[in-house]
Amino acid sequence: MNLEILRVKLLIQMTGEEFIFLQNNLNNEVPLKNVQPEKKEKHVFGILGIAKLFGCSKSSANRIKKSGIIDEAIIQNGRKIIVDTELALELMKESK
């Protein structure tokens, strides 16, 4: 199979064999220096930040905050909430 032809061919037009061949060959061509590790944020802000950190809804994030499990990781001044992500994840891991 010709790799250059498969690169421009529409996915819907490929057979399963062509797709697997293309996928295997393209995975081998990706240089490791271009792959960057996901950058973790040191802090998240507000209930939405907590929801994003734990991958849950806003109401679940609010329950987590009110439960007191991550209180040591939270700095709150009025309505402003700042959460240390590493500490919050560690506290959640310990609570389970």
The per-residue b/e assignment along 41-79, b for 16 or more CB within 10 angstroms, e otherwise, is eeebebbebbbbbbeeeeeebeebbeeebbeebbeeeee
| DSSP string computed for 52-71 | HHHT--HHHHHHHHHHTTTG
Tokens of 87: 């500490």
Same-domain status, 51 and 71: yes
Q: What is the model's pLDDT at position 61?
A: 95
Same-domain status, 75 and 52: yes
Q: Which of 31, 27, 73 is nearest to 50 (CA)?
A: 73
Q: What is the model's pLDDT at position 37?
A: 52
Q: What is the model's pLDDT at position 41?
A: 80
Q: What is the model's pLDDT at position 30?
A: 52
Same-domain status, 50 and 29: no
Q: Per the structure, how many domains does the chain have?
A: 2
Q: Which structural domain range is residue 62 located in? A: 43-95
Is residue 82 within 8 A of residue 76, CB to CB? The reply is yes
Q: Hey, which bits of the chain come out as E strands? A: 43-45, 74-77, 80-84
**Could you report the average pLDDT of every consecutive run of 10 residues in the chain (96 residues)?**
81 88 74 57 93 94 95 94 95 88
